[in-house]
Amino acid sequence: GESVGLHLPTLSVQEGDNSIINCAYSNSASDYFIWYKQESGKGPQFIIDIRSNMDKRQGQRVTVLLNKTVKHLSLQIAATQPGDSAVYFCAENRQGDDKIIFGKGTRLHILP
Amino acid sequence: GAGVSQTPSNKVTEKGKYVELRCDPISGHTALYWYRQSLGQGPEFLIYFQGTGAADDSGLPNDRFFAVRPEGSVSTLKIQRTERGDSAMYLCASSLSLGVTGTGELFFGEGSRLTVL
């Protein structure tokens, strides 16, 4: 069978708890960041984005935090639900460039 | 449907054969992206079209890979002389232009899984 995400870091969270998924980026020229969610057998799906002139942005049950000093991005999911089980990717866009570059993912596993 | 459509969903081929993967983007989306995703990895950028032209093909791994979008809508990714290392999920995404909308919301298809034996 297929072992999707065998080598991905995994975060296991109790249902109802908050999840925090972290991402580090290396390019100082990146000024726009996006979080995507990928469920098994599907393409990635946009969750939330943030520009470098902000350090926090909130959506429905999700918050993205950006720390430009240490080039760190995090995604917080409140009251994690079974439907949040997926692989989460941070992605970046660099100044003057229209392509979007994906980072390594994190698998979120929800414990009952 | 209204989403991005990719065909075939699965393709098994033999080493050395030629393969075409098709992407039908969301109507009106001027930007179209191809990514390759191996097991346990994030999507790897291959090429980006703005309209009919390839605005950035810096991610194509070598000259066996080529993509076209002749009428600014449907795109075809072409792989010549396939190798076992080409086995992966090939994802297509479309969007309104990042430079116009200011958003990086890409709409992905479900991918074409290529297996080279």
- pLDDT value at A26 more than 90: no
Q: Is B83 on the interface with A (CB under 8 A)?
A: no
Measure Cα distances from A19 to A7, A74, A80, A104, B26 in Å.
20, 10, 7, 17, 32
Selection from B103, B85, B84 nearest residue B93 by Cα = B103
Measure Cα distances from A27 to A54, A92, A94 in Å.
17, 9, 8
Cβ contacts of A34 on chain B, cutoff 8 Å: 104-105
Cβ contacts of B42 on chain A, cutoff 8 Å: 89, 102-105
pLDDT single digits (tens) A30-56: 889 999 999 998 999 999 999 999 999
pLDDT single digits (tens) B15-74: 999 999 999 999 989 899 999 999 889 999 999 998 888 889 999 999 999 999 999 999
Average pLDDT over residues B106-116: 96
